[in-house]
Amino acid sequence: MIALKGSVITSKEIIKDGVVVIDGAKIAYVGPMGTPCGDTNAKCAQSPQGVPNMEIIDCRGKFISPGFIDLHVQGAGGCDILDGNYEAVNTISKALAANGVTAFLATTVYFVGAGPCARPSQGNHRGLPLHLAAVAQAIRKGTQGARVLGVHLEGPFINPLKCGMIKKENIAQTMGTLCGGTNVKYARPPQGVPDIDAIIDACGGALKMMTIAPEMPGAIEIIKQLKKNKIVAAIGHTNATYDETIKGFDAGITHATHVFNAMRSLHHREPGAVGAVLTDDRVSVQLIADGKHLHPAVVGLVIKQKDYERTALITDSMSAAGLPDGRYVYNDLKYESNAGLAVYFGTDTFIGTALTLNKIVKRVVAMGKANLQQAVLMASIVPARVLGIDNRKGSIVKGKDADIVVIDKDCDVSMTIIDGKILKK
Ligand SMILES: [Zn+2]
């Protein structure tokens, strides 16, 4: 057993002189120091020193926080999900864990593994996209760092007008085919509805979220199918009007991918996707609160409107996350990482950040848009709730997974604990 002493960040408050006891992979107790834990077998009572084999870790002066959960990670530590192998996913997981992230959604684009738009190396022997197979393998086998919670696919059913950094060949065309109609494997031409089942299959059970544009032909049916399969349908990369967006919510959309970014914006006579997302309580949002993708005033606006309860901080991190500024490559295209921002080389197109989630938490606090406890909630319990795993992850509560990070007031990480195992000390 391990007992951590320090300021404990819970969903309600910060317990200044608190203690968290970890028994195996679970949290056994959380509360103030020097009070009984109320547990009938009283293993963790008044003085943890009295319990045999109890390792006491003194974190006084620091914060004991729930581990961060990032719903939008494309890469980190020099690797990208698109690298398409287990080692890359494992490297990403280690880079994230070193920065306080204990679980994440591997976020990437879709392409047909053995289709004409894929490089020959991109499909495995069954024609499944290697990058999706690699994530499924990382979930099965486990990783040495942050837990892989599943795949988040941005596309292929998104609007090319709002593609951002997503290439044309990663976007389904209106007739439901990829690569401009040359591959019909994933199409149902009579109805013009792309075959979502094939994509769900290709992810080997790992697909947990899909970003979709509800205005595209066939999208409403796909949203319903995602809902049926318990996959979070998230609006994003969309040019939907307000009315089209509401239809998407009615069909089952519950979440919005990087709100404001790659999304039809708010106009006072046509509130667009952003207007619908901000005013409909059925929908939670992802927020890239780096101060660059969104002006700090807009960060504040979103948090005020959606509340801390419905705002999930994300990084949208690229391979450069956790590495020095410089030039890197994403999906064959060069980009530049500078002070946490990733921009296509020679352009002003943002493609994500080079930040880890602890840095975003720090920036939100520095902007004055949340205090530390509120910012931590948006990086832990809210994303857990979005995925429906808040019964076991996302907060420091007795019985939940012991996913914990020890941070200082600047959100620098001194220790990461995943499933009760100390990864960084
Ligand atoms: Zn995106």
Q: For the chain, what are the domain ranges?
A: 2-65+410-424, 68-393
Q: Give the fold, CATH level 3, of 68-393.
A: TIM Barrel (3.20.20)
Measured in Å, residue 7 CA sits from the centre of ligand 1 at 36
Are 338 and 97 within 8 A, CB to CB?
Answer: no
**Cα(57) to centroid(ligand 1), Å:** 40
Alpha carbons 75 and 104: distance in angstroms, whole number: 11
pTM above 0.85, yes or no: yes
pLDDT, mean of residues 229-250? 98
C-alpha of residue 237 to centroid of ligand 1, in Å: 6
Query: Ligand 1: distance of its center to the CA of 258 in Å?
Result: 7
Give Cα 69 to chain centroid, integer Å: 6
- Calculate how far, in angstroms, residue 3's C-alpha sits from the geometric centre of ligand 1: 40
CATH numeric code, 2-65+410-424: 2.30.40.10
23 in helix, strand or coil?
strand
Asked whether the predicted pLDDT for residue 28 surpasses 90, the reply is: yes
Position of tokens 């999208």?
A: 219
Q: Is the pLDDT of residue 335 over 60?
A: yes
Count of beta carbons in the 10 Å neighbourhood of residue 279: 14
From ligand 1's centre to the CA of 109, what distance in Å?
Answer: 9
The residue with tokens 């992802």 is 286
> If you measure from the C-alpha of residue 376 to the centroid of ligand 1, how many angstroms do you get, rounded to a whole number?
23
DSSP β-ladder status, 14-23 and 2-9: antiparallel
Give me the pLDDT at residue 112, please.
55
CA of 414 to the centre of ligand 1 (A): 31
Task: Give distance in angstroms: CA of 183 to centre of ligand 1.
Answer: 24
DSSP code per residue over 147-203: EEEEEEEE-SSS-GGG-TT--GGGS--TTS-BGGGTB-TT--TTTT---HHHHHHHT
Same fold, 2-65+410-424 and 68-393: no
222 C-alpha to center of ligand 1: Å?
Answer: 19
For the cut 60, the answer to whether the pLDDT of residue 150 exceeds it is: yes
What's the CA-to-centroid distance between 288 and ligand 1, angstroms?
A: 11
CA 165–ligand 1 middle distance (angstroms)? 7
Instruction: For 348-389, write each residue's pLDDT tens digit.
Output: 888 899 999 999 999 999 999 999 999 999 999 999 999 999
User: 186: CA distance to ligand 1 center in Å?
Assistant: 22
**Distance from Cα 286 to the centre of ligand 1, integer Å:** 11
CA of 257 to the centre of ligand 1 (A): 7
By CB atoms closer than 10 A (0-12, 13-18, 19+), residue 329 is middle
List, edge to edge, every strand of the sheet that includes 207-212. 68-73, 101-108, 147-154, 207-212, 232-235, 253-256, 284-287, 311-313
Distance 262 CA to ligand 1 centre (A): 7
Burial of 211 (0-12, 13-18, 19+ CB in 10 A): buried
CA distances to 299, 319, 329, 339 from 364, rounded to whole Å, are 8, 22, 28, 16
What is the distance in A from the centroid of ligand 1 to the CA of 164?
A: 7
Tell me the CA–centroid distance for residue 18 and ligand 1, in Å: 39
Token duo for residue 252: 């089952």
Q: Does the pLDDT of residue 119 top 60, yes or no?
A: no
Each residue of 47-74: b (16+ CB within 10 Å) or e?
Answer: ebeebeebeebebeebbbbbbbbbbbbb
Going by C-alpha positions, the residue among 403, 414, 422, 405 that lies closest to residue 27 is 403
State the distance from the centre of ligand 1 to the C-alpha of 107, rounded, in angstroms. Answer: 9
Amino acid of residue 156: P
Distance (angstroms) between ligand 1 centre and the Cα of 27 equals: 35
The two tokens of residue 131 are 């990058």
Residue-wise pLDDT for 290-325, tens only, equals 999 999 999 999 999 999 999 999 999 999 999 999
E strands along 24-178, which residues? 26-32, 55-66, 68-73, 75-76, 79-80, 101-108, 147-154
